[in-house]
């Protein structure tokens, strides 16, 4: 249950439907700026996709004020190489994120003295750049609209030896691990798997940097394969990971005399964090609880179980994880009436969950009430980025009429993925167990439909209005 699953979905949608910031045509004359012009080896560090290395070409424009406008881009027309000419052209016509076929660009760049700023546009998001440039070296931070540091960027001037890594060997390693670890081996004998392998074998022969290779992997896996939680990335080291600022996982805000709003940005926290939040809610005696899970990409079993335990009065039998040991001997999942015959799992401990998944054919999730139990009206706000650990929670609370769900259909990204080190510093996440809800519904690739269907941005207002009509403040 990896936060990167939602990134896979975002990436595919970004290529097909979105448009990044357009690069305005510039009338100024391009000049040769010794400090900046030319190729750079760039390293981009973000929590979403780890470390990505790419080659960018910087073009600087003349300016009499001493502040030089510039733009930068990776190899042009890479989209045609990866996706094919007609697919790439169709993507550009409907607003592709890959302007002129470059995977990564810097737009609205400004360079003065040794200070560089701009907007980095990538398939995994847009970032504001704040760096210094000295003696052919670039180093700085990536921030979001709230000026929070969410990544880093480094660069070295000059064209490095290409390709940056042995991408065919990396892909061969990824295929070998997948064939050994994937939850259902029968998928490996389908036309979809063969097509994915062939596409990635083709792409890995000509890609020269991480940006193009990672984009191709995410795009083709999302488009062709019948499962999520399949990702390839170069992980950050501990120092890089710890240097990124993180927001609190849970925040509380009063929305009315008897209404509490609880934003859960991630289930990456602890069971204790959930206990503390619900204690505060219960102390105030709120009649209505609005839990915002929009853009929550998931997290750990610990925080997820810690959350749902405070909302149930009785023992709740959830869904079932099925592993390779089950599918080696079965072609169909068990009936919902058979779930209780599988070992029950109720411990808020991720390592124990993985241990069970590695040793058993299946595990049935069970949640027990944990005081203080909230018994008032509950709403859950969701959207297309509500994924992974969130989704069985949303489905279970909806199924048992414990909460009213408002917003948009959830991501449909609910499997259990495990990480494996492969060639050349890359890590592969492979789905090692699939999940079926307590009534047999498979959430992965399907998602959970809300009770109140509204646009994500309008979900909170809609719930507040819904509560007001029912006399809830």
Q: What angle do CA 434, 435, 440 make, to 5 degrees?
A: 130
Residue 412 corresponds to which tokens in the numbers above? 């449909």
Given this model, what pLDDT does residue 289 score?
A: 97
Residue 163 corresponds to which tokens in the numbers above? 């390709």
What sign does the dihedral 367-372-378-383 (CA atoms) show?
negative
Given this model, what pLDDT does residue 451 score?
A: 97
Given this model, what pLDDT does residue 87 score?
A: 84
Q: What does DSSP say about strands 404-407 and 452-453: parallel, antiparallel, or unpaired?
A: parallel
Other beta carbons within 10 angstroms of residue 285's beta carbon come to: 9
Other beta carbons within 10 angstroms of residue 161's beta carbon come to: 7
In a 10 Å sphere around its CB, with 0-12 CB exposed, 13-18 middle and 19+ buried, how is residue 237 labelled?
exposed
78-92: pLDDT as tens digits: 999 999 998 888 777
SS3 42: strand
- C-alpha 58/C-alpha 22 separation (Å) is 17
Taking each helix axis from N to C terminus, what angle separates 350-359 and 301-308, rounded to the nearest 10 degrees? 110
Q: Which residues of the chain have pLDDT under 50?
A: 3, 6-8, 10-27
Q: Phi then psi for 436, rounded to 5 degrees?
A: -125, 135
Q: Which of 13, 44, 82 is nearest to 413 (CA)?
A: 13
- C-alpha 132/C-alpha 59 separation (Å) is 17
Q: What does DSSP say about strands 415-421 and 377-382: parallel, antiparallel, or unpaired?
A: unpaired
In a 10 Å sphere around its CB, with 0-12 CB exposed, 13-18 middle and 19+ buried, how is residue 61 labelled?
middle
Given this model, what pLDDT does residue 27 score?
A: 46
> Using omega within 30 degrees of 0 as the cis cutoff, is the peptide bond preceding 158 cis?
no
SS3 359: helix
For residue 400, how far is the Cα from the chain centroid? 28
Given this model, what pLDDT does residue 145 score?
A: 84
What sign does the dihedral 438-444-449-455 (CA atoms) show?
positive
Given this model, what pLDDT does residue 245 score?
A: 52
SS3 291: strand
- C-alpha 419/C-alpha 413 separation (Å) is 16
Q: Tell the residue number behind the tokens 């998928």, with chain if given.
A: 187
Other beta carbons within 10 angstroms of residue 451's beta carbon come to: 14
Size (the chain), residues: 473
Given this model, what pLDDT does residue 90 score?
A: 79
DSSP letter string over 366-391? Answer: EE---SSPP-SEEEEEE-TT--TTHH
398-419: pLDDT as tens digits: 999 999 999 999 999 999 999 9
Taking each helix axis from N to C terminus, what angle separates 191-206 and 210-224, rounded to the nearest 10 degrees? 170
What sign does the dihedral 402-270-461-286 (CA atoms) show?
positive
Given this model, what pLDDT does residue 284 score?
A: 86
**Contacts of range 238-247, beta carbons closer than 8 Å, 24 or more positions apart:** 240/45, 240/51, 240/152, 241/47, 243/149, 243/152, 244/46, 244/47, 244/149, 244/150, 244/151, 244/152, 245/148, 245/149, 245/150, 247/148
**Using CA atoms in the order 99, 100, 104, 110, what is the torsion angle rounded to 10 degrees?**
-80
20-57: pLDDT as tens digits: 333 333 445 788 999 999 999 999 999 878 999 999 99
Q: Tell the residue number behind the tokens 């039998």, with chain if given.
A: 317
**Domains recognised in the chain with CATH numbers:** 18-157 (2.40.128.120), 167-238 (no CATH), 250-469 (3.90.226.10)
Residue 279 corresponds to which tokens in the numbers above? 């204690």
For residue 108, how far is the Cα from the chain centroid? 27
């Amino acid at each position: 249950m990896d936060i990167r699953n939602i990134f896979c979905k975002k990436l595919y949608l970004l290529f097909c439907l979105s448009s990044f910031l357009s690069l305005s045509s510039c009338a100024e004359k391009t000049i040769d700026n010794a400090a900046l012009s030319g190729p750079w080896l760039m390293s981009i560090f973000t929590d979403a996709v780890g470390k990505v290395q790419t080659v960018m070409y910087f073009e600087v424009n003349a300016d009499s004020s001493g502040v030089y406008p510039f733009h930068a881009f990776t190899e042009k027309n890479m989209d045609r190489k990866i996706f094919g000419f007609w697919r790439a052209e169709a993507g550009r016509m409907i607003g592709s994120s890959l302007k002129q076929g470059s995977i990564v660009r810097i737009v609205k760049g400004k360079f003065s003295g040794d200070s560089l700023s701009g907007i980095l546009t990538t398939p995994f998001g847009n970032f504001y750049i704040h760096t210094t440039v000295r003696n052919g070296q670039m180093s700085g931070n990536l921030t979001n609209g709230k000026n929070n540091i969410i990544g880093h960027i480094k660069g070295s001037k000059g064209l490095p030896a290409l390709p940056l890594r042995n991408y065919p060997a990396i892909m061969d390693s990824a295929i070998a691990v997948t064939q050994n670890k994937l939850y259902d081996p029968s998928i490996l004998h389908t036309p979809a798997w063969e097509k994915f392998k062939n596409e990635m074998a083709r792409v890995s022969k000509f890609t020269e940097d991480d940006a193009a290779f990672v984009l191709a992997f995410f795009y083709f896996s999302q488009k062709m394969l019948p499962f999520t939680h399949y990702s390839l990335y170069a992980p950050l080291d501990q120092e890089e990971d710890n240097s990124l600022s993180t927001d609190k996982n849970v925040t509380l805000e009063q929305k009315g005399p008897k209404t509490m709003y609880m934003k859960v940005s991630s289930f990456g926290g602890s069971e204790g964090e959930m206990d503390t939040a619900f204690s505060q809610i219960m102390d105030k005696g709120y009649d209505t609880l609005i839990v915002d899970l929009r853009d929550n990409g998931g997290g750990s079993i610990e925080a997820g179980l810690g959350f749902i335990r405070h909302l149930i009065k009785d023992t709740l039998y959830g869904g079932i994880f099925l592993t390779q040991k089950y599918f080696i001997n079965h072609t169909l999942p068990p009936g919902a009436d058979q779930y209780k015959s599988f070992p029950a799992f109720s411990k808020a401990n991720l390592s124990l969950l993985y241990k069970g998944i590695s040793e058993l054919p299946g595990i049935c999730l069970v949640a027990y009430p944990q005081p203080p139990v909230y018994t008032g009206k509950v709403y859950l706000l969701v959207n297309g980025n509500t994924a992974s650990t969130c989704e069985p929670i949303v489905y279970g609370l909806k199924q048992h009429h414990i909460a009213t769900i408002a917003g948009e259909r959830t991501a449909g990204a609910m499997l259990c993925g495990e990480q494996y080190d492969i060639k050349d510093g890359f890590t592969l996440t492979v789905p090692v167990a699939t999940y079926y809800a307590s009534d047999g519904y498979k959430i992965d690739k399907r998602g959970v439909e809300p009770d109140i269907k509204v646009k994500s941005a309008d979900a909170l207002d809609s719930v507040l209005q819904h509560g007001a009509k029912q006399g809830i403040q």
